[in-house]
Amino acid sequence: MALKLYNTLTREKEDFSPIDPKNVRMYVCGPTVYDFAHIGNARPVIVFDLLFRLLRHTYGAQAVTYVRNVTDVDDKINARAARDFPGLALNDAIREVTSTTEAQFQADVTALGTLAPTVQPRATEHIAEMIALIEKLIASGHAYAAEGHVLFDVPSMPDYGRLSKRPLDDMIAGARVDVAPYKRGEMDFVLWKPSADDEPGWQSPWGRGRPGWHIECSAMSWKHLGEVFDIHGGGIDLLFPHHENEVAQSRCAFGHDVMANVWMHNGFLQVEGEKMSKSLGNFLTINQLLADWPGEVLRFTMMKTHYRQPIDWTVKSLEESWKTLDDWYWFVGDTPGTKPAKAVVEALADDLATPKMIAELHALRNAAQRNGGEGARDALAGSLRFLGFLADTPDAWAARRKTSVSVDVEQVEALIAARLSARKHKNWAESDRIRDELAGLGVVLKDAKDPASGEMKTTWEVKR
């Protein structure tokens, strides 16, 4: 089956063909661990988890290496550590910030139904590779040391700007970058910078210092995936300068035409039509959302929009998603299917066309309904599991609504029993009165005849 992916490098949808089908290699920029991950951070996590699953399906589960890094050295981390743990020595404070933030991140993304990447390397464990890379760049004339800094010499790379389509001349004309005395060119960026005694640092040929922002991804992708690999992913905001500079570092260090063959970028996320920002007060962390919504609801909501489109994150959309998943959980029941439907895989294979994929899921559901076909129901169940859904049992899923608002379960059950008794005696006035009373508590009833016994049975759920 042909897999097509949109490549930012060529701005075209291309047939994907791996360098080595026995080892398909993908790198995705992971979090800088200084604060709770927000819902925007969840987007690439979910998008590339889907791609990971698709690649495993296509090439075999053992034939895909997915690397998502953890950046645990950064000046934002240092600032956070100093602010939050003023009593601790800086290194202890930093460890406190990075370890708790990373643990939180892992818990969050697990709740979103994602598979663990093959490797999750940490920047601080790859300082030696970074130094080696910087030495290669200096040796090949693409970097220079100055006043304890090492800078990448941007003009030494003729096609710098190719990935983000920013000609160098234009950038210099509109540059809003720091003019530092040790820089030769305005666009030159830092590979290594000196650390003061109270800042985290490592010994290097240029003195005690720490890495610049972009070098860690070049070092970690090199270490775990090699000099050239198949797919590099991340958010569109990283395209420039982060990815452009990664490419510059890796290509100039190793002398290849490309760093990764395919570059994929997910679009931005807005919240209720506005940019998400702390100042607007609409900053949503994954953790906060998980308090109100099942992880699968967040996951499905993300899939309703194609990954390259901007997504507007709204409560209305979340509510719709929950309803859709309710129906599928109920409809699928304990159907055992484990294999995804061909149409679902094909939709995904077309540059992760998740809206098309969702339409195919609805089509399976409708087909199963019309023909009573177990084949379609099996395929729906298998597809949903393949996509990272149906982790709950149907009962556990249904119970999530009951626990999302606090109600007195015993009281509700007692009222339902009273109502059933009233109905048995055709006391409709009393029956309706009880139903209204429950509605006042936020409880909605569903009556059904048990097909086996013909007995009336009432189930209930909490309406938000």
Partner RNA sequence: GGCCUCGUGGCGGAGUGGUUACGCAGCGGACUGCAAAUCCGUGUACUCCGGUUCGAAUCCGGACGAGGCCUCCA
Instruction: Report the site for RNA in 242-281 (rule: CB under 7 A).
Output: 242, 266-270, 275-276
Closest contact distance (angstroms) between CB of 284 and RNA is 10
Q: Which burial class, exposed, middle or buried, applies to 194 when counting CB atoms under 10 A from its CB (0-12, 13-18, 19+)? A: middle
Cα–Cα dist 132/223, whole Å: 11
Q: Per the structure block, which two tokens stand in for 409?
A: 């379960």
Minimum CB–partner distance for residue 62 and RNA (Å): 28
> Closer to RNA at the Cβ: 255 or 372?
372
Q: Is 462 in the site for RNA (CB under 7 A)?
A: no
- Nearest residue (CB) to RNA, 18 versus 200: 200
What are residue 25's DSSP bridge partners? 65
Per CB under 7 A, the segment of 98-106, 147-155, 302-310, 400-408 that binds RNA is: 302-310
Residues 41-80 that bind RNA (CB under 7 A): 41, 43-44, 76
Decide: is 310 part of the binding site for RNA (CB under 7 A).
yes
What is the contact mask toward RNA in residues 322 to 361, using x (rule: CB under 7 A)? -xx--x---x---------------------x-xx-xx--
Cβ at position 318, least distance to RNA in Å = 11
CA 234 to chain CA centroid, nearest Å: 9
The distance of closest approach from Cβ of residue 86 to RNA in the complex, given in angstroms and rounded to an integer, is 22
Binding-site member from 89, 107, 175, 409 for RNA (CB under 7 A): 175
- Beta strand 311-313 with 24-28 is unpaired
Residue with the two structure tokens 């495993």: 56
Under the binding rule (CB under 7 A), the answer on residue 171 touching RNA is yes
Size, binding site for RNA by CB under 7 A: 71
Q: What DSSP designation does 14 have? A: E
Angle, CA 341 vertex, CA 337 and CA 342 arms, to 5°:
150
432 is a contact residue toward RNA (CB under 7 A): yes
Q: How is 109-173 classified by DSSP, letter by letter?
A: HHHTTPPPPSB--BGGGGHHHHHHHHHHHHHTTSEEEETTEEEE-GGGSTTTTTTTT--HHHHHH
* Binding of RNA by 174 (CB under 7 A): yes
Taking CB under 7 A as the binding criterion, the range among 19-27, 162-170, 196-204, 222-230 that sits at the site for RNA is 162-170
Spell out, one character per residue from 217 to 246, where the chain touches RNA: x when CB under 7 A holds, - when not.
-----------------xxxxxxxxx----
From 177, 258, 418, 462, residue interacting with RNA (rule: CB under 7 A): 177
> What is the DSSP annotation of 210-243?
EE-SSHHHHHHHHHHH-SSEEEEEEEGGGIIIII
